[in-house]
């Protein structure tokens, strides 16, 4: 497969799409839906919901093109043995990780709120990385999976831009992966953090990665299909 030149900031990125994976970060009900953890903390979850449709389109395009698709979820074991006290003890007790919420215990694996939103439900063959931290590489087998498949470039989307997307992109960058972040398929409860978060990634000649859009990447996938 030939390389595709994908328009991006700070400059176009040459991608071997056969060695690219789509990584969808934490599109979980607890973060996105009314009544979840994010909403309980007082956030406007509609800001995050705006990323669902771009993610859905990107997911459909990646599946059609045969790309490796990886989903991540932030959450913990029911006994909280993998949750640092410093993380659990943050905030009001009734809104902490493990506390009962409208969609089950907040950010606990197996609870309804921990699940990925139905529009982006993983297929059985798509790996789901359950991560205890913000970064998708921390204490997971993501790096092993990517290396086993010869992946070089990550197409990254999901929430939140400045927390789990950013942390994952930084981790990936240090491990030698090129990261192309899809601006419209990421979101934050804080629009200004989203904007600045994206600018930080592409700053200084692409210090952590590149920033593009769903449509741009979908067009590159379609062009590759036609050329094949």
The span of 55-63, 87-95, 137-145, 160-168 binding ligand C5J (CB under 6 A) equals 160-168
Report 98-117 residues binding ligand C5J (CB under 6 A).
none
- Residues 161 and 187: beta-carbon distance below 8 Å: yes
Q: Which is nearer to ligand C5J, 197 or 206 (CB)?
A: 197
Cα–Cα distance measured from residue 42 to residue 65, given in angstroms and rounded to the nearest whole number: 39
Report the residue from 32, 48, 49, 159 that binds ligand C5J according to the rule CB under 6 A. Answer: 159
Both structure tokens of 10: 């700070």
Work out the angle at residue 31's Cα, subtended by the Cα atoms of residues 28 and 34, and round it to the nearest 5 degrees: 110
Given the structure tokens 């601006």, which residue do they identify? 183
Report the residue from 22, 40, 45, 164 that binds ligand C5J according to the rule CB under 6 A. Answer: 164
Q: Are strands 3-6 and 13-16 parallel, antiparallel or unpaired?
A: antiparallel
Report the residue from 160, 212, 213, 214 that binds ligand C5J according to the rule CB under 6 A. Answer: 160
74 binds ligand C5J (CB under 6 A): yes
- Nearest approach, Cβ of 48 to ligand C5J (angstroms)? 9
Q: Are strands 153-159 and 20-25 parallel, antiparallel or unpaired?
A: parallel
The span of 49-57, 148-156, 157-165, 201-209 binding ligand C5J (CB under 6 A) equals 157-165
Cα–Cα distance measured from residue 3 to residue 89, given in angstroms and rounded to the nearest whole number: 48
Q: Check the CA dihedral 64-14-24-73 and report its sign.
A: positive
Q: Which is nearer to ligand C5J, 49 or 163 (CB)?
A: 163
33 binds ligand C5J (CB under 6 A): no
The span of 63-71, 158-166, 177-185, 212-220 binding ligand C5J (CB under 6 A) equals 158-166
Return the half-sphere exposure (C-beta side, CA atoms, 13 A cut-off) of residue 73.
24
Report 190-219 residues binding ligand C5J (CB under 6 A).
none
Nearest to 118 by CA among 18, 6, 28, 220: 28
Count of residues of this chain found to bind ligand C5J when the rule CB under 6 A is applied: 8
163 binds ligand C5J (CB under 6 A): yes
Which residues form the catalytic set? 26, 131, 164
**Greatest CA separation found in the chain?**
56
Could you list the residues that contact ligand C5J (CB under 6 A)?
A: 26, 31, 74, 134, 159-160, 163-164
């Amino acid at each position: 497969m030939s390389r595709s030149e994908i328009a991006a900031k700070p400059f176009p990125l040459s991608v071997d799409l056969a060695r690219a994976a789509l990584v969808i970060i934490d599109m979980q009900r607890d973060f996105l839906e009314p009544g979840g953890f994010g909403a309980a903390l007082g956030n406007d979850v509609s800001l995050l919901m705006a990323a669902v449709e771009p993610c859905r389109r990107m997911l459909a395009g990646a599946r059609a093109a045969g790309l490796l698709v990886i989903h991540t979820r932030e959450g913990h074991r029911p006994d909280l043995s993998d949750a640092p006290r410093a993380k659990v003890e943050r905030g009001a007790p009734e809104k902490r990780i493990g506390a009962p919420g409208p969609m089950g215990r907040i950010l606990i694996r197996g609870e309804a709120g921990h699940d990925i939103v139905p529009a982006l439900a993983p297929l059985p063959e798509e790996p789901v990385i359950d991560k205890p931290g913000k970064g998708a590489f921390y204490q997971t087998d993501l790096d092993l999976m990517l290396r086993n498949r010869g992946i070089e470039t990550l197409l990254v989307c999901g929430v939140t831009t400045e927390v789990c997307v950013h942390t994952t992109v930084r981790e990936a960058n240090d491990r030698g992966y090129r990261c192309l972040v899809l601006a419209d398929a990421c979101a934050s409860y804080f629009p200004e953090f989203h904007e600045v978060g994206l600018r930080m990634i592409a700053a200084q000649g692409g210090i952590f990665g590149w920033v593009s859009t769903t449509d741009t990447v979908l067009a590159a996938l379609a062009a590759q299909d036609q050329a094949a």
